[in-house]
């Protein structure tokens, strides 16, 4: 991933306003990527704003402008809130299929999916517990609240477990058959497994 400046990019047909918006979104994304990279490798307290800025190819004041301060940036990085919104955005009867497709599309198009970050919790030291708590509250419990019947909380954990495993097999273990299979085919096979935990019987 190349470094990007923070001024209007010369490429693209849109006017300077759109270019500026695009560029500011790209800068924010670069800052978040840099913070995630560093948090996965260093203790929270050892990471300076300058180090994040350098890795992201932006200035430290720009980070302050976008995120306020270092703690607010890290809290944003540790959140699953915006991921969960899109991940859980389907009627319950179709939710298994939606989550599987959403995860596979994310992996295929961006090399990342909405929930895979949880597997790196052990690297974050004390921050790892924040990541875990966010994950459980923002993804697992939010799913569990939508389920009815016995053991909704356990069933939500098992459903999310199957999805994490699919993400690890695709993005980390890099299973070659999974990666070359059509998303529709994998969704047809895997969605019923997830759905059976959501709406059993």
Query: Which one among 26, 90, 169, 183 touches its own copies, defined by CB under 8 A?
Result: 169
CB 1, min distance to its own copies, A: 16
Q: How many residues of this chain bind its own copies (CB under 8 A)? A: 40
- What is the distance between the alpha carbons of residues 1 and 15, in angstroms, rounded to a whole number? 24
To the nearest 10°, report the CA torsion of 96, 176, 182, 100. 10
Q: Please, what is the Cα angle at 159 between 155 and 165, to 5 degrees?
A: 140
Residue with tokens 């300076």: 48
Residue with tokens 């991921």: 83
Q: At what angle do helices 70-77 and 16-39 cross, to 10 degrees?
A: 80
CB 102 within 8 Å of CB 83: no
Query: Which one among 121, 143, 147, 191 touches its own copies, defined by CB under 8 A?
Result: 121
88 binds its own copies (CB under 8 A): no
Instruction: Tell me whether residue 88 or residue 160 sits nearer to its own copies (CB atom).
Output: 160
Residues 44-73 that bind its own copies (CB under 8 A): none
CB 24, min distance to its own copies, A: 29
Residues that bind its own copies (CB under 8 A): 40, 118-119, 121-123, 132, 135-136, 140, 151, 153-155, 157-158, 160-166, 168-170, 172-178, 181, 186, 189-190, 193, 196-197
């Amino acid at each position: 991933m190349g470094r990007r400046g923070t001024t209007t990019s010369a490429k693209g047909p849109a006017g300077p306003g759109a270019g500026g918006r695009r560029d500011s979104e790209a800068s924010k994304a670069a800052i978040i990527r840099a913070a995630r990279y560093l948090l996965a490798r260093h203790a929270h307290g050892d990471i300076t704003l300058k180090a994040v800025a350098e890795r992201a190819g932006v200035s430290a004041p720009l980070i302050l402008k976008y995120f306020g301060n270092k703690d607010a940036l890290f809290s944003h990085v540790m959140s699953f809130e915006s991921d969960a919104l899109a991940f859980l955005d389907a009627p319950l009867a179709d939710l298994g299929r939606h989550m599987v497709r959403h995860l596979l599309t994310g992996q295929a198009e961006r090399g990342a999916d909405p929930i895979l970050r949880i597997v790196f919790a052990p690297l974050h030291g004390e921050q790892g517990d924040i990541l875990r708590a966010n994950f459980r509250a923002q993804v697992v419990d939010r799913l569990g609240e939508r389920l009815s019947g016995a053991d909704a909380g356990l069933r939500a954990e098992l459903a999310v477990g199957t999805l994490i495993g699919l993400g690890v097999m695709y993005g980390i273990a890099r299973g070659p058959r999974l990666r070359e299979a059509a998303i529709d085919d994998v969704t047809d096979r895997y969605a019923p497994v997830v759905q059976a935990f959501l709406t059993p019987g």
